[in-house]
Structure 1
């Protein structure tokens, strides 16, 4: 027990640093600024990669077709080898709902070195460039947009001078597991990539939320997107880094009227969502995996263990820093729970959720070494560098 007070103190120190020095990641007030309409409305092409999305398309695609946008806009849905009639359903929804023009096309199977989504995005951008748009909206097939979503995104980009404007779509939180896991997912993402830092010119922190990315077409060409990131499993962060590397100015914040309609009712569904890319986030590096597991344990698991063990053994030096660290952790999680309209009593359960994420991360590495890592919708992707590069 002689070392445990020091570990508990270290955990408290880590939380004080996160509270004050990590870009105030725990605040949830980074939203699109109040809209200031630009002098003119540029043309926009919306690119939607879709693979076996027939279950969610009726709740998402009509919202894109119904965009109230003053300028010229049209939608390109790229059917990425679907077997559930996604393309046919998209055409039927366009006939039924009307709205913005819709083009449905398919690029065929991706070549070696490409992920399926980015191959579909490349095809969609190629179709869009025939219209010479000033902006591209890259959005996932499970994302529903409020009628003024495109207008607000373009206004923010045009008046704020941003080359990339991205909103973290509000994920569904209806099942018990969604309530426990989903708000923490966004909380952890913001902890890794503090939104306030991303919006600063010249900042080193780069990230985007792949479900909703408005991208200046010129910036995409300058950054060679998506060709430069064709093998990326975590494509949104790779996209942001490529645009930043090309001199682009980024903005990322939480959405208010952009929502994911994809359900994750069971723990298994959420587990697959995280485990498919967690080890890729660590660059398939065993040392980074070990450091991440140790870090999660010290930061999230030590506080409750220290409080309970210190109280049981009469060690104030262990219990007090453990309890204070747990209190800071709980306090920083409350704003995210409020954003997701969840009860505050879930906040003290964050160590349990973090433990689940730790297990998911380890499972991601196990799947990788079994040859089943980075698997999604019937495709498994090799580690970058494991396949020949294609110019």
Structure 2
């Protein structure tokens, strides 16, 4: 066989392993586990770090205020140096809508070694602990919760005796670029951190969370030293989950049904910044890991369509057959995620194009790092941030 045919066969073998041996990452059935209402509802402190979120708060904050939670709940919104009136708007919305009480505070600029979000979380958690809550809900300012979201999260955690329950919010998918890139973002995340593995206590090395919605038992948070133990992490959700697992806590992660992100990413540039700001940090700023990732993405996602087209043009039946089957398997594994996002299944064969974009975003993330721009987000730049510390 030709070199192209052998390469296509290797790609096909990789897809066979991914489809069957990577925790069935492509399935979308990991939702909140079976739950029953407790006899007594625990108290919950909802901590919301917010930096320049005046556009998001009119949608997200009223949803938190409207939670029909039977127990005691309070929102602690931390205005992280906003310049658009985020803090004052939060107070105005609280006075207008009522519901769950809101405390608005500001921690000042982060101390050295802290990322902005985790510095804000540190301040909010410290204030919350003065009320001695049983649980902490860590959620972002662009996340809208259905009225029963908190109730269902707490019921699931108590019924299953889980210390950290996290849901990956359903991201906004409206613009053309969002349709092309956003479902794939969740698909790739699940491939890297298979939800089934995370949700099995016997797979301790497979640990992650989704930072937009994390319900955390306060006792375990204290034992894990959160957020101080992960203060330098840009990929804070994975870091928090690992800290909880190291402290002996149980972690669960699934797809959301009652939690949505309202942040728009209408342009390719917006999505590009979202991915590239932390992609190289995920690779621990290691050039060898970067090279391996680029080669891996090319082999798994780019070789199948190339082998099919080039093999057909050259009369290389083996290359065309192996490439075509690999592309078909790839396409089939992407269909469940598109259905979850209620998108056209015609987007499934375009996954290689989306993977190419993610490859370029990852390379750009490394270039930005070596140019000293690091992980830039909302006016702050971290020249050498941590991804998800192991200790």
What TM-score bracket applies, with the shorter chain setting the length? over 0.9
Deviation at residue 373 of structure 1 after TM alignment? 1.6
Tell whether 2:345 aligns with 1:344. yes
CA distance in 2, matches of 1:273, 1:382: 16
Q: In structure 2, what is the equivalent of residue 151 of structure 1?
A: 151
Tell me the SS of whatever aligns to 1:18.
Answer: helix
Q: How does 1:348-367 map to 2 (within 5 A)?
A: 348-367=349-368
Q: In structure 2, what is the equivalent of residue 258 of structure 1?
A: 259
Q: In structure 1, what is the equivalent of residue 166 of structure 2?
A: 166
Q: In structure 1, what is the equivalent of residue 283 of structure 2?
A: 282
Deviation at residue 384 of structure 1 after TM alignment? 4.5
Preserved CA contact (<8 Å) 2:234 2:385: no
Deviation at residue 39 of structure 1 after TM alignment? 2.0
CA distance in 2, matches of 1:72, 1:56: 25
Deviation at residue 3 of structure 1 after TM alignment? 1.3
Q: In structure 1, what is the equivalent of residue 124 of structure 2?
A: 124
CA distance in 2, matches of 1:287, 1:38: 50
CA RMSD of aligned residues (A): 0.9
Preserved CA contact (<8 Å) 2:234 2:281: yes
CA distance in 2, matches of 1:30, 1:12: 27
Preserved CA contact (<8 Å) 2:373 2:383: no
Tell whether 2:353 aligns with 1:374. no
Q: In structure 1, what is the equivalent of residue 98 of structure 2?
A: 98
Deviations 1:298-352 (A, max 9, x none): 0000000000000000111101110000000000000000000000000000000
Change (3 A) 1:287 1:323: same
Q: In structure 2, what is the equivalent of residue 218 of structure 1?
A: 219
Deviation at residue 383 of structure 1 after TM alignment? 1.6
Calculate the TM-score normalised by the size of structure 2: 0.98
CA distance in 2, matches of 1:16, 1:339: 23
Tell whether 2:343 aligns with 1:335. no
Deviations 1:25-71 (A, max 9, x none): 00001000243111211000000000000011100000001100000
Of 27-36 and 279-288, the range deviating more from structure 2: 27-36
Q: Runs of 4 or more off by more than 2 Å in structure 1?
A: none
Tell whether 2:62 aligns with 1:70. no
Q: In structure 1, what is the equivalent of residue 109 of structure 2?
A: 109
Q: In structure 2, what is the equivalent of residue 190 of structure 1?
A: 190
Q: In structure 2, what is the equivalent of residue 46 of structure 1?
A: 46
Deviations 1:111-167 (A, max 9, x none): 100000000000000000001111000000000000000000000111101000000
Unmatched runs of 5 consecutive residues or more in structure 2? 387-391
Deviations 1:355-386 (A, max 9, x none): 0000000000000001112110000113248x
Q: How does 1:78-93 map to 2 (within 5 A)?
A: 78-93=78-93
Q: In structure 1, what is the equivalent of residue 389 of structure 2?
A: none
CA distance in 2, matches of 1:319, 1:193: 31
Tell me the SS of whatever aligns to 1:45.
Answer: strand
CA distance in 2, matches of 1:254, 1:341: 14
CA distance in 2, matches of 1:354, 1:15: 14
Q: In structure 2, what is the equivalent of residue 389 of structure 1?
A: none
CA distance in 1, matches of 2:333, 2:125: 39
Preserved CA contact (<8 Å) 2:34 2:159: no
Tell whether 2:270 aligns with 1:269. yes
Of 216-225 and 198-207, the range deviating more from structure 2: 198-207
Q: In structure 2, what is the equivalent of residue 388 of structure 1?
A: none
Tell me the SS of whatever aligns to 1:372.
Answer: coil
Tell whether 2:14 aligns with 1:9. no
Unmatched runs of 5 consecutive residues or more in structure 1? 386-391
Tell me the SS of whatever aligns to 2:254.
Answer: strand
Tell whether 2:236 aligns with 1:243. no
CA distance in 2, matches of 1:98, 1:126: 24
Tell me the SS of whatever aligns to 2:126.
Answer: helix
Preserved CA contact (<8 Å) 2:227 2:240: yes
Deviations 1:191-230 (A, max 9, x none): 0000011111132200000000000001101110000000
Q: In structure 2, what is the equivalent of residue 56 of structure 1?
A: 56
Tell me the SS of whatever aligns to 1:277.
Answer: helix
